[in-house]
Amino acid sequence: MNPKSKLYQPDHWRARAEATRKKAAALIDGKAKDRLLKIALEYDKLAWRAHVWQMRKNEDDT
């Protein structure tokens, strides 16, 4: 595990979620829009997991 990797940074996943929501907002097709919004929710979950991971790592370092 490389804690400096962007995969462990909550802001990386939040930015992906926001970009995905912007793409979804531009779509007219309901199914495609729904799929993108679900993907954005998964990115939000990854952001939360990265946040929790950082918190635990910080606790372990002290």
How many H helices and E strands in the chain? 2, 0
Q: What is the pLDDT of residue 6?
A: 86
Angle between helix 30-61 and 10-25 (nearest 10)? 170
The gap from C-alpha 54 to its chain's centroid, in whole angstroms, comes to 14
The residue whose two tokens read 């910080």 is 58
pLDDT computed for residue 3 by the predictor: 64
pLDDT for the residue numbered 57: 83
Q: What is the pLDDT along the chain (62 residues), one digit of tens a residue?
A: 666 788 889 999 999 999 999 999 999 989 999 999 999 999 999 999 999 998 988 877 76
Q: What's the pLDDT at 2? A: 67
User: Which residues have C-beta within 8 Å of that of residue 51, sequence separation ≥ 6?
Assistant: 10
In the structure encoding, which two tokens stand for residue 9, read together?
A: 């940074």
Residue ranges of domains in the chain = 7-61
pLDDT of residue 1: 60
DSSP state of 26: T
